[in-house]
Amino acid sequence: MTITKDRKQAVIGDFRRKDGDTGSPEVQIALLTARINGLTEHLQSHKKDYACRRSLLMLVSRRRRLLDYLKRVSPDRYLDVIRRLDLRK
């Protein structure tokens, strides 16, 4: 369910805007997406894990708020993150 340290560093490396960047909205959205994907896989095999379902909904809500912020502040960066993470159909 959690992401490994190596996977987290890879995600940060892919989405950072400059060296040492770990807190930009792009990085936060990418890390949340990785966690959401892991929880989604877990819930497919453990359908009655309601605590996990609640945490998944909280992560999705947090990612939605960050995406809304990024869309309001910088629409170009928003579209880039959406495209790179393949969040919209």
**pLDDT tens readout for residues 64-80:** 999 999 999 999 999 99
DSSP string for 8-28: HHHHHHHH-SSTT---SHHHH
pLDDT of residue 1: 60
The model's confidence at residue 88, banded by pLDDT at 50, 70 and 90, is confident
Q: What angle do CA 76, 61, 75 make, to 5 degrees?
A: 10
- Angstrom distances, CA of residue 83 to CA of 19, 30, 47, 88: 22, 12, 30, 8
User: What is the identity of the amino acid at 69?
Assistant: Y
- Angstrom distances, CA of residue 58 to CA of 17, 44, 51, 54, 70: 26, 18, 11, 6, 18
| H and E: helices and strands count for the chain | 4, 0
